[in-house]
Amino acid sequence: MFSKKLIFLLSAAVSLSSFAGYDQAQKKFGVSNASLTGHKDLIIEISEDGFYFSLIPWVKEYLAKYNKVDSDLDRSIDQVMNAVGVKTFESLPESMLKKVNSPNVRYILAKRYLSSSNYSTVEGLLSKVEAKHPAYPFITHLLGVNYSHKGDYKGAVAAFNDCVNASEKRISKIDDDSYRNQMGQNKDYCLAGIARAYYGMGEYKQAELSYIDIPKESIIWPTILFEEAWNSFQLKNYNRTLGKLVTYKAPVMDFVFNPEVEVLKAISYLKMCLYDDARSIADDFYSIHNKKSQDLRRFILRHGKNYKYYYELMANFESGKEPTDAYVLRSLKSIQKDGAYLELRASLTNAIKEYKRIQNLPKSNLKNQMMRNIRTVLDEYKSTLGAYVRSSMVTKYAEFFRAFQDMSYIKLEVLAQRKEQLYKNETQNRSRGDLKYIERNDKQYFWNFNGEFWADELGDYVFALRSEC
């Protein structure tokens, strides 16, 4: 369950420096009709003027063309990355990235090494980043993840704590809401990282306490709630697990679309030897999700890798136009609340802003080329967003696929338990528990619940089921 890849987007404060940079560049490059590719000064000058997205193609082209990047350009590229995020540069080859001595580039490279389990290289790359660098909170976050993957949970806790502190410091210094939100998310993820590290260590009680540190209003809390449920499961507190999971039924959580919730629920019943309940969940899961999940699959297959379509689908949805397919709709709702998606969308918004800004510039060759660049970047972002939407749907379908298997295993386990009882010649004795537990329904599962979900109680429900084992 810790294999989820967390996606971080870096953003930087929008430069408010003078317009002089562009003018300087205009003087130098605006007169000619020649291509402006490969001009270091141009990147430096224009980046100093707060144009970042339109520089992305030139930066990539420069890295492809030249072997050396001097410190000035290095700084400018770092600045660009801080502003637009690293996502757009992640696809560049390692040889190109290595030319830049930027913490952001280190971050990109470190992610790559992490995916190939080269933990020591990740450590080497990230430990050199200075704490004052804007990307430092994300760097420490990634470092914590690296330690967790490595199995060094103590190191992970330390790194995540560093991340939390760095993030808090950064938040206090940021005015930009979007960036602050990102930093806040980063902090919450690092808090979750601490809890996960304890979980990894088998210190579930400590993990439980750490999970509590994540505020319920955090955008990641609904996801983390599921982890908390697992943590309770590990503590054999199945009633609490079920209570946490029932939170997902609250209307405010309707965007959460996680088939594993039902799986965990069924396992919890299983653990309490409430086989009929476990089996009922499994059977219901099939009847509810089987056809719809197949529809989702067909939808994905029908549209192939037409990212533009997915981008349009998401854009239309955000404009209030809902798709007819139920699970496509639920997927879109879920994606809409997804941190990574929000980061991408924010970048796109910023790119559009830059586009408008360039539009207002006087006509010149430089302007024309910047316009061309920003259009390319906008298309790229739209494609990236479309791809993200699609991959989220694919992931969703994969989750269903796995959940169906899990449900089958659960059902088989239920049947095996039943059979074992028969082999032992034990008749089922349903009277072992109190009568009040026999005719129960969902409503009776909660304490202090009168048919409404109270925001401050979300995640704190506890079931009162007695184990029949």
Partner 1 sequence: MLKVIAFSLILSSQLAYSQNLDSRRQNILKIIDEELSEVNRLAKQQNFSSPDTLFRMAELNLEKGRHWLDFENEKYLKLSPEERRSANRSEYFNNSNQFFKRANTAAQTLAKKFPSYRNIGEVYYILGMNYREMGDHKAAQNYLKAALNKTPAKSSVRAKIELTLADYYYNNREYSKAIPLYESSIGKVNDKWWTKDTFNLAWCYYRVKNYNKAIDLMKSVHKRSSQKEYVDLRNDVNRDIGVFFVEGGRLPEAISFYRGQNIDFTKQMIHIAEKTMSDGQFKQADTLLVEALKYEKDPKRKVDILMAQLNLYDKGNAVDKHLIASEELVKLNQNKLLDDDQRKSLTYHVDKKAAELQKSVASKIYANVKKTNDLRAKQAMRYFALSAQLNPKAGPEKIFFQAETAYAANKSKEAIDLYLAAFDGAKEAGQSKIMTQSLEGMLSSLASPSLNKKVADKYYVPVYQRSLSVDQKSPRAKSIYEKLFNAQVEQKDFTGADQTLTLFAKNFPGDFKTQEAMLAKIMEHYRGSKDYDKVKSYVSRINSGEFKVSQKYASALRSLMTKIQIEGVQSSLDKGDKAVALKGYHQIFESSESTPKARANASYNLSALYYELGEANKSYQWSTVALQQMDAGDVVKFSPSFLTIASGLFARQHLDQSADLSYRLMAKTCGVNSANKQNFYKNAIFISLADNELDRVLEMRRNAKTCKLPAAVMEEVDHEILKDLIAHDKWTAAEDLMSELERSKSNYSALILPYESMRKRLISAGNTGEADRVASKQAMFYREALKLKQDIPVEAIDLIALRSMGGVFNASHNIKSSRLSFPENAFNNGLKAKLKALDQLTVQVDQITKTGSGKAIVTSSKVLIDAYESVAEEIKAFTPPDKPQEYVDSFQKAMSEVWGPLMSHARKLRKDVELTINKNSILSDDNFAVLASPGFEEVRFAGTEDNVVMQRGGVK
By CB under 8 A, name the binding residues for partner 1.
1, 260, 263-264, 267, 401-402, 404-406, 408-413, 415-416, 418-420, 422-423, 425
Where residue 353 falls (left for φ over 0; alpha for ψ -120 to 50; beta otherwise) is alpha
What count of other Cβ atoms lies within 10 Å of the Cβ of residue 373? 24
Question: In angstroms, how far apart are the furthest CA atoms of the chain?
Answer: 94
Least Cβ distance, residue 388 to partner 1 (angstroms):
24
Angle at 327 between CA 326 and CA 333, to 5 degrees: 95
Interatomic CA distance for residues 2 and 192, integer angstroms: 11
Least Cβ distance, residue 415 to partner 1 (angstroms):
5
Least Cβ distance, residue 274 to partner 1 (angstroms):
16
Give how far Cα 148 sits from Cα of 157, 159, 230, 295, Å: 8, 10, 18, 37
Cβ closest to partner 1, residue 258 vs residue 350: 258
Cβ closest to partner 1, residue 278 vs residue 313: 278
Cβ closest to partner 1, residue 349 vs residue 428: 428
Cβ closest to partner 1, residue 86 vs residue 245: 245
453, with CB counted inside 10 A (0-12, 13-18, 19+), is: middle
CA-nearest of 269, 277, 245, 270 to 461 is 245
Least Cβ distance, residue 410 to partner 1 (angstroms):
7
Residue type, 427: T
CB 146 within 8 A of CB 139: no
CB 137 within 8 A of CB 167: yes
Cβ closest to partner 1, residue 178 vs residue 417: 417
CB 215 within 8 A of CB 188: yes
Least Cβ distance, residue 267 to partner 1 (angstroms):
7
Cβ closest to partner 1, residue 127 vs residue 405: 405
Least Cβ distance, residue 228 to partner 1 (angstroms):
15
Cβ closest to partner 1, residue 366 vs residue 410: 410
Least Cβ distance, residue 420 to partner 1 (angstroms):
7
